[in-house]
Structure 1
Amino acid sequence: MNTPTGIRLSPVPDQRHESDSDFPLAYLCDDSAIDLDQTCNWVGENRDQLLALATEHGAVAFRGFPTPNVEGFDRFITSLMIENFPYEKSLSNAVRINRTPRVFSANEAPPDVRIFFHHEMAQTPIYPKYILFFCEVAPEIGGETPLCRSDILYSRLAERCPEFAAKCEQAGLQYTNVMPGSNDPNSGMGRSWQSTLGVDSKEGAEARLESLGYTYQWLENGCLKATTPPLPAVMETTPGQKTFFNQLIAAYCGWKDERNDPSEAIRHGDGSRLDADAVRVAIDLSEELAYDHRWQVGDIVLLDNTVAMHARRSFEGTRKVLASLAEMRTQSFAVQGGPR
């Protein structure tokens, strides 16, 4: 990699070392003479290597670079030359606010709401290959973004709960979510059905859900209850490397608001209930393997969404962490024949 003096690999606090790999890999810019143009040139020249490192390590962090504002973050992303996956085209259930065509708030849920580990949009038929996070305002207390290598988690889960791991791989998962009739900013999953589905009528919502293979039910309060088709719970990212690619932990622990009950949010793809003890093992493993990124203004973190899960700790004060999605992928699953 062509790296100028002043940009170097550097450890970050609490960096993990798993399977001879740093997690996250971290670059530090400690030369104030390096400006945004030089940074973007470096990113663009090394685009393929940086994306490959995100896949190899799960995440790459950038600290000390001249990217203190959203415009700098947007230029950094553009330099990576990755296809934008706009928020409005996603099926994310989080309320977010766009700042640029490819940058939006990570989640508008209140500070006391904890967001549990998940792969972004693994609970839908479409998901992003890459996620980038950016710190505009660092929180006073808390607000870390935990990251977890999902391939390592799955390997350990398969050792401790082999039957459950096999059932996840063979049967997949289904998710049920009740979407409100208008955005609910007090919930971590409060995006309205109109915004989620990109429609303005019930007829449009039904057509979109049917095209995606969902089942659905209209509720008396104007909410829409939707259940996904069976989706993969395990992904083979490279030959022999499997990741726990799903939203099991987030749905089981955190899909709770005035409309949603976590006990009804998730099933295996064949309709059977999950083994609660095994799910608890997966939750505990995610915390054991977690790296908590403590934000500093200007920090950027690049994730391969198929390798690393992310979450959000509760916080006090003001916290503004922005996000961008890239390279839309699709997934489907046949319960009898396995993932395809």
Structure 2
Amino acid sequence: MNIAQQQFKHSPQQIKDRLVEHGWVLLRNEHYDVNAFSGLMSNICQKLTYDPARENVTRQSQKVDAGTQAMGLHIENGSTPMPPDIIAFFSEKSASRGSQTTLCDGHEVWQKLPDTLKQKFAEPMTISRYLPKAMWKKYVATALNIADAVQVGQQELAHFIEMIPRQRIRPAHDEGVQYDLSMPMIRHDNLKAVPAFANTLLGPSYNYEKPRFYFADGSEIQAELLEELAERCERETSEIDWQDGDVVLIDNKRFMHGRREILVPLEDRKLYICMGLGLNPAFL
């Protein structure tokens, strides 16, 4: 199902209302450029966050550059201890073929899960992956507002791990770490405070090693269950056919997103992302 074109300009209150009630909002034909997009997210969020693996195009916005392959549904930065509450995409140059962004309402998925699966995912799962030295240093520098990742060492890493519960690290080869994070697969901390199957079980790992997911009893999730979940989520998924200048804002802890395969050269598509924490009550 494709998202229908919208012809009216949204007021700040309409943006907030739709984001909270419906979980996403498309701003089309509203003459955004990357600076206006960056300003919008600076105003709507209490604090902006960043992915250290991405390249910035403004102080607030970063490039989306993750190859051309299709991407499974996921919440942004959902394998990190601080996933953003709100994410937004701006299409400066839209692909003429493919590249549709997919949107899946995790609340609708949760409502239709059988009780056996609701019970299976009721407890947080452990996300485990190897992080090379350069990656953990850059992530900790970003999280602690340290200008130069070279200044980050074991002391800063230990401080970061202690700051946020549910994290564990073990030394690994080449000064990397084995990183374990306990994370709920069904979230209640979205803008509408509804239960939502919203996680990264089906998602990509373009800039990072693919993680492994373990249930509370220590068993690893199996491929058959992931295939079943993908089928269930696809039934609740719609697509955005991008047009130049489009902006989409998403409740990242309710809606998962992904992407259909890009069928044009990468230079024929320019998409940017901005992420933030907290809905700013003063956004009017």
Structure 2 length-normalised TM: 0.81
- The one of 11, 24, 41 equivalent to 1:59 is 24
Q: Which amino acid aligns with 1:27?
A: Q
Shift in Å, 1:164? 2.4
- The one of 35, 48, 62 equivalent to 1:85 is 48
CA RMSD of aligned residues (A): 2.8
Q: Is the 8 A contact 1:84 1:327 kept in 2?
A: yes
- The one of 216, 220, 225 equivalent to 2:178 is 225
Q: Which amino acid aligns with 1:320?
A: K
1:241 aligns with 2:204: no
Q: Is the 8 A contact 1:176 1:227 kept in 2?
A: yes
Q: Which residue of 2 aligns with 1:336?
A: none
* Distance in 2 (alpha carbons) for counterparts of 1:238 and 1:204: 32
* Distance in 1 (alpha carbons) for counterparts of 2:158 and 2:201: 25
* Distance in 2 (alpha carbons) for counterparts of 1:132 and 1:239: 17
Q: Which residue of 2 aligns with 1:21?
A: none
Q: Which residue of 1 aligns with 2:63?
A: 105
Q: Is the 8 A contact 1:174 1:267 kept in 2?
A: yes
- The one of 26, 36, 59 equivalent to 1:72 is 36
Shift in Å, 1:62? 1.3
1:300 aligns with 2:263: no
Shift in Å, 1:249? 1.7
- The one of 98, 106, 113 equivalent to 1:142 is 98
Shift in Å, 1:202? 3.3
Q: Is the 8 A contact 1:55 1:307 kept in 2?
A: no
**Higher Rg:** 1
Alignment: residue pair count: 265
Superimposed CA distance per residue, residues 253-306 of structure 1 (whole angstroms, 9 cap, x where no aligned partner): x3488x8455xx111234232254333221112222221212111000011112
* Distance in 2 (alpha carbons) for counterparts of 1:137 and 1:54: 24
Unaligned runs of 5+ residues in structure 2 are 142-148, 280-284
Q: Which amino acid aligns with 1:212?
A: I
* Distance in 1 (alpha carbons) for counterparts of 2:193 and 2:97: 40
Identity between Structure 1 and Structure 2 (%): 20
Partner SS for 1:99: coil
Partner SS for 1:84: strand
Q: Is the 8 A contact 2:85 2:277 kept in 1?
A: yes
Structure 1 length-normalised TM: 0.69
Q: Which residue of 1 aligns with 2:128?
A: 176
* Distance in 2 (alpha carbons) for counterparts of 1:268 and 1:327: 28
Q: Which residue of 1 aligns with 2:53?
A: 95
Superimposed CA distance per residue, residues 145-175 of structure 1 (whole angstroms, 9 cap, x where no aligned partner): 111111111112x23xx22221211x21111
Q: Is the 8 A contact 2:20 2:191 kept in 1?
A: no
* Distance in 2 (alpha carbons) for counterparts of 1:261 and 1:132: 24
Which of structures 1 and 2 has the larger relative contact order (alpha carbons within 8 angstroms, sep 6+)? 2
Q: Is the 8 A contact 2:57 2:63 kept in 1?
A: yes
Partner SS for 1:177: strand
- The structure-2 alpha-carbon separation of the partners of 1:74 and 1:309, relative to structure 1 and needing over 3 Å to count, comes to same
Q: Which residue of 2 aligns with 1:321?
A: 271
Map 1:148-187; keep pairs closer than 5 Å: 148-156=104-112, 158-159=113-114, 162-169=115-122, 171-182=123-134
Unaligned runs of 5+ residues in structure 1 are 1-12, 16-23, 30-38, 183-191, 330-340
